[in-house]
Amino acid sequence: MNQIKIILYALLSTFLFQSCRPEHTVQPDDGIAQKVEALLSRMTLEEKVGQMNQYSSFYDVTGPAPSDGKLKLKYEHLKKGLVGSMLNVNGVKEVREFQKLAVENSRLGIPLIFGFDVIHGHKTLAPIPLAEAASWDLEAIRRSAEVAATEAAAMGINWTFAPMIDITRDARWGRVMEGSGEDPYLGTQIGVARVNGFQGNDLSSVHTLAACAKHLAGYGFSEAGKEYNTVDMSTSTLFNVVLPPFKAAVEEANVKTVMNAFNIMNGVPSTGNAFLQRDILKGRWGFDGFVISDWGSIKEIESHGMAANLKETAMIAANAGSDMDMESYAYVTHLADLVEEGLVSEDKIDEAVRRILTVKYELGLFDDPYKYCNEEREKELLYHPDHLEAVLDMARKSIVLLKNEGDLLPLKRDQKGIAVIGTLASDKNSPLGNWRLGSDNNTAVSVLEGLDTYCTYTYAKGADLSTGIEVFNQDLTINTSDKSGFKEAVTLAKNAEIVIMVLGEHGMMSGEARSRTQIDIPGVQQDLLEAVYEVNKNIVLVLMNGRPLAIPWAAEHIPAIVEAWQLGTQSGHAVADILFGRYNPSGKLPMSFPRSVGQCPIYYNYFRTGRPGPRNEVFFSRYIDEDRTPLYPFGYGLSYSKFDYSNLVIDDSDQKRIKVAVQVSNVSDTDGEEVVQLYINDKAASIVRPVKELKGFEKIALKAKTSQTVTFELTDKELGFYDPNGDYKVESGMFDVMVGTSSTDGLTGSFQLK
Ligand code: NOJ
């Protein structure tokens, strides 16, 4: 009888499960669905709840942890089958130990799934995601994620908490470094590329990871860029800006997991938000993976003021569709009671567990819980030469040339009299960025080491960036007064023909919980720059930073500026290759660079206002003390080549496929690459549309003195928008089109959609 029930249940659930899913997504194989049902039917309520519980290991913590680490409790729970997943377990040895605890002691021996923040590499680090986004090179980004997956999987990890696909517009927010910047179109393409890179074609391969699209939703819109702050946004922005990357991650890339967010959405914490998780994600989009909470975000429903105690938070989160609890201890403590009391239905528990077990089966963990645990593979693959090559390629492509007056760059191979100044030039840690948990400190190639392969130079740090005094045992305070090294630096600069200054933020000044109210070049570095400029104007400024910086003085005075972000393990080689012209810069900004912090949030795809200007009158949208435009706009970036755009042709004869063609010519003597960008503006619509929206781009390589015609097609997918109910609409009317080299520089035309 029981057997028949299981089969019927399996058939029914397979039917229900599949009927609401879009046809094009990969269907888990039927074998797995049946195995999941069979296992589920053998599980007690406590064991089911256990699968929904995730603990952090003791190796490192990535959120506020209980002071005693709850070690004893965690061990006990692992052995009793009350833990479904661990995070922050580092290395095969540790993974095996935890897996053993669960598999060999618990009644059903269900394997753990091991998650980790594999954000831009694991041992070998690629550039921070914001930098990678500047490459606009989807294949390189996919490959970078693939490398990250290979190394993390070799260390026993099965699941990454990446990609972060939050759209981010405020440079004050520390986590802009982890996303793809301000644009939903670019962010969507990159999100899909990253998920594909992590997950590959076969989740059960020992070289791939389950990916996690995070954070659903709106975390990137924290008010005033302050971490963990309130978010208050329109549904128009939610559907048109915030959700598209998530929708694509689910529908196009079949992402296996989604993480919810710390922030509220429409007054409801995302973690307890049924509209986001049940209606949109699992309902409208047919997401068939599972939802993980953010660290402690279930418990934080109480802090937000929507629950009176931990038990209520568990009820709200489970009912709202949060499938797994990261470090809140809410589910494991209260969920079984809530079911007994009828406050959460067991169906909802079953649904969550079914989702979690399915991913575990797909990863192959039931076939062999230790399949990711192989010390030899671990040794062979970490820092593998192919990986070093891939992240070097990615790093070169991520650099953005912001200014190059008088073609100061590239430097000649036989350039003499080079002075290098700035403590970041010798820093082997900061280029690794903030998310370097899985890697090793001081393993980046420094700029000095990169330059070593090209030239001789003199070096002075000029000033320390930080004082060495720690705050919260983690962050270093910034040196705002000690200028004792200036003299040495200025003397070197005086005697040099050219000065390379490496300035910016250290690695821990961006990332989670690293919001800033000042986004200029921090500490005494600006003064150092000005002091050196007094004696030598031939300065190449290399910026190292995890967010857009406001650098108006440098932009006005310094002849050459290179945005080198935090480029990961191969950082110094990539910078040197650019400075000496071995690689021709091809990056374009994925976020606008403001003139001053007061302009934040500043982004290119803003809404028109009733008084947009620009008119030289008082009563128009403007500042009285600052220009309204950014210092460097979205999509901007120079090359050592010169590109010319001509012959914009719009063919709207086929209204379902409007063709826009443009001729791009490399009019210089240098081979180069250009990102050709297409923007539209829906002139008058039923809701206000942004002044410009990126709707296509192509990165092309053009030999010196050659041309290429680039053609874009605009279909309903590009021309429509979501109304405030989330329904997609394509409306007739006039559209302006711009095709060019950045969001502010291109050829324009228009067409009518009938
Ligand atoms: C908190 C962060 O918001 C999230 O992105 C991360 O994955 C978790 N901590 C786990 O480290």
Domains and CATH numbers, the chain: 36-378 (3.20.20.300), 398-599 (3.40.50.1700), 643-753 (2.60.40.10)
Nearest residue CA, atom 4 of ligand 1?
A: 294
Task: For ligand 1, say whether the CB of 295 is within 6 Å of any of its atoms.
Answer: yes
Give the distance (Å) from ligand 1 centre to CA of residue 62. Answer: 6
Instruction: Report CA-CA distances (Å) from 143 to 53, 190, 255, 393, 695.
Output: 32, 12, 17, 10, 24
Question: What token pair was written down for 123?
Answer: 């041992």
Instruction: Report CA-CA distances (Å) from 172 to 264, 348, 689.
Output: 19, 39, 26
Nearest residue CA, atom 11 of ligand 1?
A: 62
pLDDT of residue 71: 84
Ligand 1 atom closest to Cα of 219? Answer: 3
pLDDT of residue 424: 98
Ligand 1 atom closest to Cα of 161? Answer: 7
Residue (of 68, 59, 249) closest to 157 by Cα position: 59
Q: Check: CB of residue 545 under 8 Å from CB of residue 504.
A: yes
Give the distance (Å) from ligand 1 centre to CA of residue 217. Answer: 14
Residue (of 397, 399, 400, 401) closest to 137 by Cα position: 397
Ranges of beta strands (E only) in 461-520 are 466-471, 475-478, 498-504
Give the distance (Å) from ligand 1 centre to CA of residue 215. Answer: 9
Give the C-alpha separation, 144 to 138, whole Å. Answer: 10
Taking the alpha carbons at both ends of the chain, their separation in whole angstroms is 62
- What kind and span of H or E run contains 677? strand 672-682
Give the distance (Å) from ligand 1 centre to CA of residue 100. Answer: 25
Give the C-alpha separation, 169 to 515, whole Å. Answer: 13
Task: For ligand 1, say whether the CB of 161 is within 6 Å of any of its atoms.
Answer: yes
Mean pLDDT by 10 residues, the chain (754 residues): 36 35 45 97 98 87 74 93 96 96 97 98 98 98 98 98 98 98 98 98 98 98 98 97 98 98 98 98 98 98 98 98 98 98 98 98 98 96 98 98 98 96 98 94 98 97 92 84 98 98 97 96 98 98 98 98 98 98 98 98 95 82 94 98 98 97 98 98 96 98 98 98 96 98 98 96
Beta strands 498-504 and 418-421, pairing class: parallel
Nearest residue CA, atom 7 of ligand 1?
A: 161
Cβ-Cβ contacts under 8 Å for 664 (sequence gap 6 or more)? 643, 644, 645, 674, 676, 700, 702, 707, 708, 709, 710
Active site residue 407: no
Give the C-alpha separation, 639 to 409, whole Å. Answer: 10
With residues binned 3-state (H G I as helix, E B as strand, rest as coil), the percentages for the chain, rounded to 5, are 35, 20, 45
Give the C-alpha separation, 135 to 590, whole Å. Answer: 9
Give the C-alpha separation, 256 to 216, whole Å. Answer: 14
Give the distance (Å) from ligand 1 centre to CA of residue 295. Answer: 6
Task: For ligand 1, say whether the CB of 466 is within 6 Å of any of its atoms.
Answer: no
Task: For ligand 1, say whether the CB of 294 is within 6 Å of any of its atoms.
Answer: yes
Residue 39 CB neighbours (<10 A): 20
pLDDT of residue 60: 65
Task: For ligand 1, say whether the CB of 512 is within 6 Å of any of its atoms.
Answer: yes
If 0-12 CB within 10 Å is exposed, 13-18 middle and 19+ buried, where does residue 80 land? middle
Nearest residue CA, atom 1 of ligand 1?
A: 295
From the list 183, 294, 393, 427, the catalytic residue is 294
Give the distance (Å) from ligand 1 centre to CA of residue 294. Answer: 6
Give the distance (Å) from ligand 1 centre to CA of residue 283. Answer: 25
Using alpha carbons only, give the angle 729, 732, 734 rounded to the nearest 5 degrees. Answer: 125
Residue (of 402, 403, 416, 399) closest to 559 by Cα position: 403
Task: For ligand 1, say whether the CB of 670 is within 6 Å of any of its atoms.
Answer: no
Q: Which of 86, 120, 259, 510 to mutate to test the pocket of ligand 1 (most atoms within 8 A of CB)?
A: 259
Q: Check: CB of residue 392 under 8 Å from CB of residue 568.
A: no
pLDDT of residue 187: 98
Using alpha carbons only, give the angle 637, 638, 639 rounded to the nearest 5 degrees. Answer: 135
Beta strands 672-682 and 733-742, pairing class: antiparallel
Q: Which of 114, 271, 512 to mutate to test the pocket of ligand 1 (most atoms within 8 A of CB)?
A: 512
Q: Which of 55, 117, 209 to mutate to test the pocket of ligand 1 (most atoms within 8 A of CB)?
A: 117
Task: For ligand 1, say whether the CB of 417 is within 6 Å of any of its atoms.
Answer: no
Question: What token pair was written down for 163?
Answer: 């990609």
Chain centroid, CA 28 distance in Å: 27
Helix axis angle for 184-199 and 138-154, nearest 10°, is: 40
Residue (of 701, 640, 652) closest to 676 by Cα position: 701
When computed from its CA atoms, the radius of gyration of the chain, rounded to whole angstroms, is 26
Question: What token pair was written down for 626?
Answer: 């600052």
Burial string for 118-139 (b: 16+ CB within 10 Å, else e) reads: bbbbbbbbbbbbbbbbbbbbbe
Give the distance (Å) from ligand 1 centre to CA of residue 456. Answer: 43
pLDDT of residue 476: 80
Ligand 1 atom closest to Cα of 215? Answer: 5
Task: For ligand 1, say whether the CB of 403 is within 6 Å of any of its atoms.
Answer: no
Say if residue 573 is preceded by a cis peptide, omega within 30 of 0.
no
Q: Which of 89, 176, 178, 295 to mutate to test the pocket of ligand 1 (most atoms within 8 A of CB)?
A: 295
Task: For ligand 1, say whether the CB of 735 is within 6 Å of any of its atoms.
Answer: no
Give the C-alpha separation, 160 to 148, whole Å. Answer: 9
pLDDT of residue 59: 64
Measured on CA atoms in the order 717, 719, 724, 727, is the torsion positive or negative?
Answer: negative
Give the distance (Å) from ligand 1 centre to CA of residue 247. Answer: 21
Residue (of 95, 69, 671, 72) closest to 377 by Cα position: 95
Give the C-alpha separation, 219 to 263, whole Å. Answer: 6
Measured on CA atoms in the order 400, 403, 405, 408, is the torsion positive or negative?
Answer: negative
Chain centroid, CA 523 distance in Å: 27
Task: For ligand 1, say whether the CB of 117 is within 6 Å of any of its atoms.
Answer: yes
Nearest residue CA, atom 3 of ligand 1?
A: 294
Residue (of 716, 735, 722) closest to 242 by Cα position: 722
Task: For ligand 1, say whether the CB of 435 is within 6 Å of any of its atoms.
Answer: no
Instruction: Report CA-CA distances (Å) from 467 to 464, 489, 586, 746.
Output: 7, 19, 36, 46
Give the C-alpha separation, 687 to 685, whole Å. Answer: 5
Residue (of 433, 461, 387) closest to 565 by Cα position: 433
Give the distance (Å) from ligand 1 centre to CA of residue 216. Answer: 12
Q: Residue by residue, what is the 3-state secondary structure of 539-566?
A: EEEEEECCCCCCCHHHHHHCCEEEECCC
